[in-house]
Amino acid sequence: MDEKDSGFGSPPKPQTPDPIPRKKSSAGRVETASSRFQTKRHDAASTKVLKTLSSVKLAISLLVVIAVVLIVATVMKSQTQAQRHIYHSWWFISLLGLFSLNLLLCATRRWSFRLRRLGTTVTHAGVLVLVIGAVLGGIWGERGLMQLYIGDSSTTCYVSENEKMVLPFVVHLQDFEVERYREKGVQERLVVQLVDSPASRPASRGIRLFPVKVGETFQVSGTPYSVSILRYEPDFVILGEGVYGSRSASPHNPALEVRVEGGSEESPRWVFAKFPGMFQDTKPNVGLFYQRIESIKAFKSNVRLFDAGKVVASKTIEVNKPLRYKGYNIYQSSYDREREMYSVLEISRDPGIRFVYLGFLIISAGVVFTFYFRPLLLKRRSAKKRIISTG
């Protein structure tokens, strides 16, 4: 009889034990020892990375690197290049972002509203807000220069020689004014440099200083030369061949006609305050320089803003007194120092500046609490404890 037909069936096969112990998770999944080992390794690696990112050593290292970068940017000759190649560069913004993440993790690990740590917590939060503002300004901030002559209008600023910034409104320069200190006036002097003085003498001994007095003649001590100031023109202009005059009474291009007598120097020559090399001989025995030192009090630009063909803002801009419109700040930066015909405006937009100011306020509050209010509150608390213990 076949085994199949005997009615008893085939005997059960012996079960071999599972070489890998298995364990059911809370979700009903079967976990092996190897999977648990991989999970532990992953958790350990994540914990190590998190611990590194929230460490104080990383924060100090980032602070040192950021400080060195800021020092380099400060000593750069051109702040425009510093803005472009450092402050708005991807690597500096990434550095600030990493520092923000480090501060956030540090503050989260040490977050506490207890009296002893409240000041530190608030200070960390303030630094975090400040750095976030700096990152926002570095990514979306804009800054450029606009040169306008009196009566001109423009919507274009120059970030660099090859980069422009277009404004959503029109800037119009109505007028420009340079204000001087009346009580100090203008300091003027004629500098005479003796080029043919002995080489053994110091250069300072070959220089003589004389006041600017038209019609006066001055003897250069120790030399056969004398210097006569024949004429003064406040705004020098050539009217014709050998004919000179002045455009106006304003000192836009002040010049002196000076004659040097003695030796081989006889003919008069013009000496300019703003163009010292003009009309000078190539190798004169006596060098002449007209120094004019003005005490500038302020320079102002009367500006109007047009948006959609309408005047939306008008203000006289001075240094540290900007015009603000649509998130843009328009500052007085420089001007035409030769003829005072144009003004240079600096126009900037920084969406993170409010976060920066808020961060400074929060930091100040945290520092004041830590060094002033916290000691007082702890002192009062300890005094109450002593009274309770003795009572």
CA proximity to 285, closest of 197, 371, 222, 179: 197
Question: pLDDT tier at 361 (50, 70, 90 boundaries)?
Answer: very high
- When pLDDT is cut at 50, 70 and 90, the band that residue 317 belongs to is very high
> Does residue 161 surpass a pLDDT of 90?
no
* Exposed / middle / buried, residue 131 (Cβ in 10 Å: 0-12, 13-18, 19+): buried
pLDDT of residue 1: 45
170 and 153 Cβ atoms separated by less than 8 Å: yes
Look at 249 and 77; give whichever has higher pLDDT.
Answer: 249
Residue whose C-alpha is closest to residue 273's, from 259, 247, 294, 295: 294
- Cα–Cα distance, 105 to 284 (Å, whole number): 72
Per-residue model confidence (pLDDT) at position 204: 38
Distance of CA 162 to the CA centre of its chain: 20
| CA atoms in the 13 A half-sphere facing the CB of 260 | 23
Hey, where are the domains in the chain? 50-140+354-381, 145-180+299-348, 186-294
Nearest to 330 by CA among 300, 298, 296, 360: 300
Q: Show the tokens assigned to 258.
A: 């000076």
* pTM of the entire predicted model: 0.57
- pLDDT band at residue 157, thresholds of 50, 70 and 90? very high
Per-residue model confidence as pLDDT tens digits over 31-46: 565 555 566 666 677 7
Angle between helices 90-109 and 56-75 (to 10 degrees): 150
> What does the pLDDT look like over 168-213, one tens digit per residue?
999 999 998 888 776 566 788 888 877 654 443 444 347 888 888 8
Rounded Cα–Cα distance for residues 185 and 166 (Å): 41
